[in-house]
Chain A
Amino acid sequence: MRYILSLIVENKHGVLAKVAQVVTGRGYNISTLTVGPSERADTSRMIITFDSDEKIIEQIIKQMNKLVDVIKIFLIDDNEKVERELLLVRISRKKDNEESIERIVKIFRGKIVDVTMKSFVIEITGASRKIDSFVENIKSYGIQDLMRTGPLALPRFDMRTNTKEQIK
């Protein structure tokens, strides 16, 4: 099952390495990782997803919580969240595929953001599952390059679980 962890960490040297090492050092595998600025300049937010089970996630959370540079960590509830991932994909352009590609992109509310004689670049945002199914649909057209950001996610409500210190 997919688990989404949200971390608020010190915006400091070496923090990403420390977080990553907790995971890799215990033999677990990160599915996606996004790091970026948060609402405060001196902290960053990380969204890390794992394909794992409950017991392992519990252990990962506890171990990450022990890191001095991790200020706050919580598991994002799959049912009470807003989730967005960005996909960029370049697809081969052929005479006979233009129309159907355009149709699929439209259904998924994506955009064709660049065109050359030989290719389209398509942009899609949405929950990761939506992007999965878009990729599924577009596969047969010949994917040249594909890149996903991994999801960003925010809970719909203020989360106070696993708070080390509430951020003011």
Chain B
Amino acid sequence: MSKLTGAQIIVEALKREGVEVIFGYPGGQAIPIFDALYDSPEIRVILTRHEQAAVHAADGYARTTGKPGVCLVTSGPGATNTITGLATANFDSVPVICLCGQVPTTMIGIDAFQEADITGMANSVTKHNYLVHKIEELAETIKNSFFIANTGRPGAVLIDIPKDVSVNKYEFNYDFEVNIRGYKPHIEGHLNQIKKAVQLIEAAERPVAIVGGGAIISGASDEIIEFISKCDIPVTATLNGLGCVAFDSPYFLGMHGMHGTIQANKAIQQSDLIIALGSRFDDRATGKLSTFAPNAKIIHMDIDSASISKNVEVKVPVVGDLKNILKQMLPLLNQKKNEKWMSIITELKAVKHEILRDQKRLTSIEVMEVLNSKVDSNTIIATDVGQHQMWTALYYNFMKPRTLLTSGGLGTMGYGFPAAIGAQLVNTDKPVVCITGDGSFQMNIQELATAVIERLPVIIVIMNNGYLGMVRQWQDLFFDKRYSSTCLMNCDHRDKECNGDYNSCMKFIPDFVKVAEAYSAKGFRVTNKLQLSEAFDKAFANRSGPFIIDIITEREENVWPMVPAGASLDEIMRGGTVS
């Protein structure tokens, strides 16, 4: 067998794994690997403008396709720049493989130039990581990494590759079975547990199903819809569960939790059975734990046994892949009607909470309504983190799984745009819209270059309120309106003269339309509904490159409803008052 360099082995292994695109940023210790990629037209290499963005792009690719996203960076600062991206992906169970160059094995530990103990740093933000000591281990390490990243509860895997490992030569062999003795994810549900779940479901009078990110990862959407229809069960989603059940399903209650809908939170609190489907009872979703669904028993179906009974006490745990579990369970369930409960649900859904309209500037609901009227069910939405993210979750009409990319667990500002780039690269036929804030967008604004060069028609919707709006909202509600370090327009709120109006501050900082121009992208500023509709039409018609819509929105609009941090899901604020 002819020998290959380590770098060539990496490329061959990636090809065998079906990798079609890598997001990367080169540097000294990674040059050999980039060099080998130079000869492989099968794998497209996308040069991002920051390593964090490379990981987010790989993440966006993975969330929309279900395949692992791959990124490649150099040692030291290149590697450390990936940490936020890895933590973001891993927290939301996204399969990402991060290849890092490392100083040669002979120099590890001597504080060599651009040496960083990246595996040590990555421990708490990856599912697993490897430092490849010898070229003999390289192919197996890569194969194991792909297996680990995308089985069980998916996650991020980092592979640290010293330079000598990528330049040495060895035979390439990839025809072996993965066998990791400490890693045997079990995917079938336990039949006895499933039978116990069936009993509880049949006995329940007021059941509520909660779908989480796991439902989407498992591809269980069809089974879930069959389940809730068969047993007449209303369903609410976590942030990452949105899209699993279409927004217009009569069973769908919207998102629950801190910024959940009133009907979802009320239904949970009144329920006598919670059926958690691939969700992990995050504190933003449950509110105060001791008063969460006080009269409900809990069935928890999840691939990760460590998620079970971590936060809430679970009556019937079922560990396994959700799609498998539901397939096992569905034939055991009898058709059922919960008429009384469903009529309560219908009533709950009929109560609308107040929405801000017709202000001087556009409001969140107005922006979302126009957007909803322009999209089709295949449109992929990426968000950043803040008020705009919650408005998207509350008002955007999600129809299908894998159409929302958002950092739910870590809440990473700067995630949205690079994730949208990763998504657009493989979903060439679908519109990809990044809904962002004026704060968040500036955290990875440099990726405009990547999107322009790769001709990616990502639509960037900036909900421009001139604030780090979500933080400002907390200062408004809980810190006596002391807007410390949240105004992005250089408004000094300690100065009582400042009325939060543009007149006393910077007009645009930055001027996003000019920024677009500077990158040879298109940019539009929008201040009213008519312009907004026009801008969206132009944006959706445009397929040649990124398109920024800078929407000047109401400055001090708050996200409602809201359950304050640490409060019970019953304590819903809908505009300043506790109901």
Contacts and interface: CB of A to CB of B under 8 A. Distances in A.
B124 A65 contact: no
B180 interface: yes
Interface in B266-322: 304-306, 309-310
A113 to B, nearest CB: 36
Contacts, number: 51
A130 to B, nearest CB: 34
A62 to B, nearest CB: 4
Interface string A47-74: 0000000010011001101111111100
B123 A70 contact: no
Interface stretch (A17-25, A97-105, A136-144, A147-155): A17-25
Interface residues of B, number: 20
A73 B2 CA distance: 42
Contacts of A58: 309
Interface residues of A, number: 24
Contacts of B496: none
B120 A14 contact: yes
Interface string A71-86: 1100000000000000
Contacts of A167: 181
B194 interface: no
Contacts of B180: 68
Contacts of B148: 68
A73 B497 CA distance: 64
A71 B131 contact: no
B184 interface: yes
B516 to A, nearest CB: 41
A1 to B, nearest CB: 19
B444 interface: no
A165 B123 CA distance: 23
A17 to B, nearest CB: 6
A21 B120 CA distance: 10
A164 interface: yes
Contact of A13 (B124, B133, B184): B133
A10 B306 contact: no
Contacts of A14: 119-120, 123, 129, 131
Interface in B91-128: 119-120, 123-124, 127-128
Contacts of B304: 66
B133 A66 contact: no
Contact of A71 (B124, B133, B181): B181
Contacts of B305: 62, 65
B133 A67 contact: no
B182 A68 contact: yes
A65 B306 contact: yes
A164 B123 CA distance: 21
Given A14-B131, A21-B124, A68-B148, A164 B183 contact: yes
A165 B181 contact: yes
A165 B184 contact: yes
Nearest to A69: B182
Contact of B183 (A17, A25, A68, A72): A68
A68 B305 CA distance: 15
A121 to B, nearest CB: 35
A159 B127 CA distance: 27
Nearest to A72: B182
17 contacts: A9-B182, A14-B120, A14-B129, A21-B124, A62-B305, A62-B306, A66-B304, A66-B306, A68-B180, A68-B183, A69-B128, A70-B182, A71-B182, A164-B182, A164-B183, A165-B181, A165-B182
Interface of A: 9-10, 13-14, 17-18, 21, 25, 55, 58-59, 62-63, 65-72, 164-165, 167
Closest 6 A/B residue pairs (Cβ): A62-B306, A71-B182, A68-B128, A68-B183, A21-B123, A25-B124
